[in-house]
Amino acid sequence: MSNSRLAYHTDFKLALQCGLMPATQVARLPRSTRHRFRTTDYSGVVGAEYSTLLAQIDVLKQIAASRVLLGFCRAFLRVASLLRSLAVNPFQLKRLKNVEQRAAIAHRLVSAGQFAPLGSLLACLGLSYRTLRSWLAYKVPCASSPLTLCRARSPAQLSLAEVQVVKQAFRDQATAHWPLSAVAWHLVHSGRLSASVATIIKYAKLLGVAAGHSARKRSRKRGSVVAKAPNTVWHVDATMVRTLDGVKVGVQFILDNFSRKLLAWTVIARLSGAATVQLVRSAWEAMPEQPATPVALISDGGSENVNQTVAGYLATVPLHLLVAQTDVSFSNSMIEAANKIIKYRYIFNRTIPDLAHLEEVIGAAVKDYNNRPHCALRGLTPEQVYAGKVFDTAAYREQLHQARELRLASNRGHCPSCVPLVDETAAEVAVS
């Protein structure tokens, strides 16, 4: 009877060398075989570069020699297998929004805590005990919250009454043509809701009532003059609008740089220097008082602005014409933006049969534009800023603080049947 020698896979030999083989299986090997497997250097074997085990042999030896590292690896592999099955990036767990996935990961972490310190696992994943407790608690989304968070456990979110206010405001047809920020600031300054504008807009989007208010995506023009007071810098600009009767009509505006108020406007059949003079004269005569220094009038290089008629009139009043990107480096973008707002939010969504009807629409549009909140003015209207009103930062912060206290009290008492909050210190001990 012939003796046949057994052939062993190279990874089997490496596993034994690294101490990864079960003791019962190692004991069945002959002593000489064990000694040879443990002392042989396999780095010179042909094809060794393809062995993933051999490439990590130094690391595996360190892990095998440490019970702590072995336990941590077992724990981490349990968590990693779940993350892989959920297709979740382990380096972006803080951004995870799915409540069910959060709960599953939290329970797997607690289960893996028997193999390694839970604090070390959390630190490795960039999580905290507080996050873990919250993930364990929020197993079922709250249907009454746009954030799907329990109101008793997350009382800083908007209350039910405040959510209804947001719904009503963004569904109001009277302000349906306003941008998101204007509606949000209107809620704040009217006293109907005290929250940050970003929060109000976020809730409007979550509630699905923000679609009609979203601004058109346009490229932003950089660089412009910044006035320090009303009636120091004006802008003049014109645009053409075609009515249903086929007539192309000119619409011209003058805007105050500091307050963003449209000071004067005109609708004419044909743009000209005389029309520009009449427009500037109406804005000048409507000023409550004469300015102490000359007013800079910024325009583009259009023939209706740069001509002898306009120059002759400006020589009689303290107004100084500056052509954008010629006399000054910046553009006339501020009034161009206002011009587009008037067109896209007030004109293009209406039927304009003739010039007379266009005048009515422009008059109503200018009045609404001057009296709606402006984001750049921190929710104040151009009319208010032009009249000298200043945003009161201290009062605004106090308003937010008081509203937050009322919101916390309302939300904490909203769900009496919810599981009561536990002490954080006791919960940390229980979890760990």
On the question of pLDDT at 66 being above 80, the answer is no
- Predicted local distance difference test score (pLDDT) of residue 123: 84
- Provide the residue ranges of all domains of the chain, joining segments of one domain with +: 10-64, 67-137, 233-370
Interval 380-391: pLDDT, tens = 999 999 999 999
What lies within 8 Å, CB to CB, of 190 at 6+ separation is none
At 143, the amino acid letter reads A
- Predicted local distance difference test score (pLDDT) of residue 236: 95
- Structure tokens belonging to residue 363: 């008059």
**Is the distance from CB of 385 to CB of 258 less than 8 angstroms?**
yes
- Mean pLDDT is highest, among 107-111, 222-226, 412-416, for 107-111
**What's the mean per-residue pLDDT of the chain?**
83
- Write the CA distances from 119 to 95, 128, 338, 413, 424, integer angstroms: 20, 8, 55, 33, 15
Confidence class for position 420, pLDDT limits 50, 70, 90? very low
- Structure tokens belonging to residue 284: 């000048």
What's the average model confidence in pLDDT over 145-153? Answer: 81
Provide the CATH topology of domain 233-370: Nucleotidyltransferase; domain 5 (3.30.420)
Closest C-alpha to 277, from 334, 317, 328 = 317
- Predicted local distance difference test score (pLDDT) of residue 134: 79
On the question of pLDDT at 333 being above 80, the answer is yes
Confidence class for position 350, pLDDT limits 50, 70, 90? confident
Which helix H or strand E contains 227, and what residues bound it? Answer: none
- Structure tokens belonging to residue 210: 């923000």
- Write the CA distances from 324 to 15, 252, 278, integer angstroms: 77, 17, 21
Cα–Cα distance, 108 to 323 (Å, whole number): 67
Interval 270-323: pLDDT, tens = 899 999 999 999 999 999 888 888 999 999 998 999 999 999 999 999 999 999
> How many other C-beta atoms lie within 10 A of the C-beta of residue 297?
23
- Predicted local distance difference test score (pLDDT) of residue 400: 94
The residue among 304 and 430 whose pLDDT is bigger is: 304
On the question of pLDDT at 12 being above 60, the answer is yes
The residue among 143 and 245 whose pLDDT is bigger is: 245
Query: Any idea what DSSP says for residue 226?
Result: -
- Predicted local distance difference test score (pLDDT) of residue 4: 65
- Predicted local distance difference test score (pLDDT) of residue 129: 87
- Predicted local distance difference test score (pLDDT) of residue 30: 84
Cα–Cα distance, 200 to 371 (Å, whole number): 20
Paired residues of 268 in beta bridges: 250
On the question of pLDDT at 55 being above 70, the answer is no
What's the average model confidence in pLDDT over 54-80? Answer: 66
What's the average model confidence in pLDDT over 357-379? Answer: 94
Longest Cα pair distance anywhere in the chain, in angstroms? 126
The residue among 302 and 22 whose pLDDT is bigger is: 302
Confidence class for position 71, pLDDT limits 50, 70, 90? low
